[in-house]
Amino acid sequence: MAKNDLIGGSIWEEYSNKVAELMNNPKHRGRFTQEEADSKGFKLIVADFGAESCGDAVRLYWLVNPNGDIIENAKYESFGCGTAIASSDMMVELCIGKSVDEAVKITNLDVEMALRDSPDIPAVPPQKMHCSVMAYDVIKKAASLYKGVDMASFEQEIIVCECARVSLSTIKEVIRLNDLKTVEDITNYTKAGAFCKSCIKPGGHEDREYYLVDILRETREEMEKDKLLQNANTVFGGGTVAFNDMTIVQKIKAIESIIDENIRPMLVMDGGNIEILDVKDSGSHTDVYIRYLGACSGCASSSTGTLFAIENVLKAKLDNALRVFPV
């Protein structure tokens, strides 16, 4: 049956041919019994998950080989719309042959991307992205049953946009690093809010704990406070904000400032230079990863005298627990 035989108008054109095909001819729809699992020496996992926003639900069946935790076969039963069927069918396709640990890394975006006819054209309209999210969630449910752990153990971040799997920390950091000022900017940089749009502001098809409009406002307010505090300090690390209390972004700016004033001029005079690659908090220390440029990159003292001088200046100006590592 062709797409236009099912749904008329332009809306149907927003669905890929792969989605239409799996709606009509699903490959993995069905169920396994305990007897089938026992006959093969596999463990049967049956996981249920439902989407409160639309009432759709999916039941996932895994036949897992305990030798390597490999998902030897999988099927599903879907209780919902055609998009839920297509998403569930592709989700099962992606699971088969993988270990449980590999399967739990499959995201809703992997499912949606696999359903596309073209890499640049979404497989479903934005309001239907929740179907692939449901497919992602039922994998986590199945893995939690197999491993005997809670589903939450597979989620290390607070997810703001379920459709694009974008975390709260990522959104806040992108706003800060790129000085973003609008929700549209956030969407362009992270894809958060690009699909069902429920995470943009209250009033969408699904209630959320965090909304982009609030995150943007609160982060911009924090940035303004940080700016005022930095301006109030005559020396980084002193005054109102101690170095240890700074955010990573503030620390990078502080380190760059000290390097520009006290270190880079000396290196440039000898035909060299330096760039900061990364700054990480590692317990009681702040680790600065640098790369030497120009003459410094081949200098014998780059790992001894020059390195010690750089580290000592940063310790004296900023914090004694600061460490420098050349990469």
User: What are the φ and ψ backbone dihedral angles of 115, each rounded to 5 degrees?
Assistant: -90, -5
pLDDT band at 189 (very low <50, low <70, confident <90, very high): confident
Could you tell me what percentage of the chain is helix, strand and coil, using 3-state DSSP and rounding each to the nearest 5? 50, 20, 35
CA distances from 284 to 240, 249, 253 (A): 21, 18, 20
Mean pLDDT for 227-234 is 58
Range of weakest confidence among 37-51, 107-121, 225-239: 225-239
What pLDDT was estimated at residue 243? 80
What pLDDT was estimated at residue 230? 65
Q: Tell me the DSSP string of 107-135.
A: -HHHHHHHT-SSTTS-SS-GGGHHHHHHH
Give per-residue pLDDT as tens, 89-136.
Answer: 999 999 999 999 999 988 877 888 899 999 888 888 876 777 777 888
pLDDT band at 143 (very low <50, low <70, confident <90, very high): very high
What pLDDT was estimated at residue 232? 47
Give per-residue pLDDT as tens, 267-309.
Answer: 888 888 999 988 998 888 899 999 988 888 878 788 888 888 8
Mean pLDDT for 263-268 is 88
pLDDT band at 194 (very low <50, low <70, confident <90, very high): confident
Residue 9 has pLDDT above 60, yes or no: no
Residues 6+ apart with CB under 8 A from 108: 129, 132, 133, 135, 136, 162, 163, 165
Which CATH entry fits the domain spanning 243-326: 3.30.300.130, 3.20.20.70, 2.30.30.240, 3.30.110.40?
3.30.300.130
Cα 132 to Cα 124: distance, rounded to the nearest angstrom: 10
pTM, two decimals, is 0.54
CA angle (157, 228, 158) in 5-degree steps:
5
Q: Give the CATH H-level superfamily of domain 159-225.
A: BFD-like [2Fe-2S]-binding domain (1.10.10.1100)
What pLDDT was estimated at residue 228? 65
Residue 225 has pLDDT above 50, yes or no: yes
Mean pLDDT for 159-167 is 83
What pLDDT was estimated at residue 147? 93
Which token pair is 308? 């010690």
Cα 48 to Cα 31: distance, rounded to the nearest angstrom: 13
Range of weakest confidence among 48-57, 64-73, 225-234, 262-271: 225-234
Residue 234 has pLDDT above 50, yes or no: no
Which token pair is 122? 């979404």
Alpha helices in the chain (DSSP H): 3-6, 17-24, 34-40, 82-95, 100-103, 108-114, 129-147, 168-178, 183-190, 212-232, 248-258, 264-269, 305-317
Higher pLDDT, 207 or 19: 19
pLDDT band at 61 (very low <50, low <70, confident <90, very high): very high
Domain boundaries 3-154, corresponding CATH code? 3.90.1010.10
Q: Which residues pair with 45 in a beta bridge?
A: 62
What pLDDT was estimated at residue 6? 43
What pLDDT was estimated at residue 28? 96
Domain ranges across the chain: 3-154, 159-225, 243-326
User: Looking at the annotation, which residues are catalytic?
Assistant: 54, 131
Mean per-residue pLDDT over the chain, rounded = 85
Q: Which residues pair with 278 in a beta bridge?
A: 289
What pLDDT was estimated at residue 91? 95
Neighbours of 241 (CB within 10 A): 18
* Residue bearing tokens 């943009």: 200
